[in-house]
Amino acid sequence: MYEIIKFVHLAAGIVWMGGMALMIWAIRPVAIAQLEPVLRLPLLGGILARFFKMVGLCILLLLASGGLMLMGVDMRLVPKGWHVMLGVGLLMCLVFGHLYFGPFRKMQAALSAGDLSSAGAQLGKIHPLVLLNFGLSWIAVGAVVICR
């Protein structure tokens, strides 16, 4: 059973990290280079809306599977990397919550109102938060692998 729980944990992390990588290095740069704001902003808003639903599910799976794996161990005896991963993972959840309930919701409202200027400003606030979470995700992975 532990292996299945660990698989779910890893799969959820891979989906979240992979989605951030795709947004950072593929979708966003191409959209900026090839599309005018009138097309780019609704497209990116739609992509983020779908991706953020997946992230929400990934967070639930990560918290549930991580919690289940931790229930069977004495936290005083686990590798230090586990503690780092837990702390960084919770920080990532907070960053995502801020990103989702702050700039993303404001961007969606601006898009609904046809206010591309405000939508673009909010999208500009989302990008650094995604970069932050992407960096944090690598710290979490590195800690688990290196700090044994």
Owning domain of residue 60: 2-146
CATH classification at residue 87: 1.20.120
d(CA 116, CA 110): 7
The pLDDT of residue 18 is above 90: yes
Cα separation, 84 vs 95, in Å, equals 16
Q: Over the chain, what is the mean pLDDT?
A: 96
Counting every residue, how long is the chain? 148
| 124 has pLDDT over 90 | yes
Give the chain's domain count: 1
Q: What is the pLDDT of residue 73?
A: 87
Q: Is the pLDDT of residue 77 over 90?
A: no
pLDDT bracket for residue 40 (50, 70, 90): very high
* Dihedral (Cα; 5, 6, 8, 9), 10-degree rounding: 120
| pTM tops 0.85 | yes
Under a CB-based contact definition with an 8 Å cutoff, are residues 108 and 53 in contact? no
Q: Which string of DSSP letters, residue by residue, matches 86-143?
A: HHHHHHHHHHHHHHIIIIIHHHHHHHHTT-HHHHHHHHHHHHHHHHHHHHHHHHHHHH
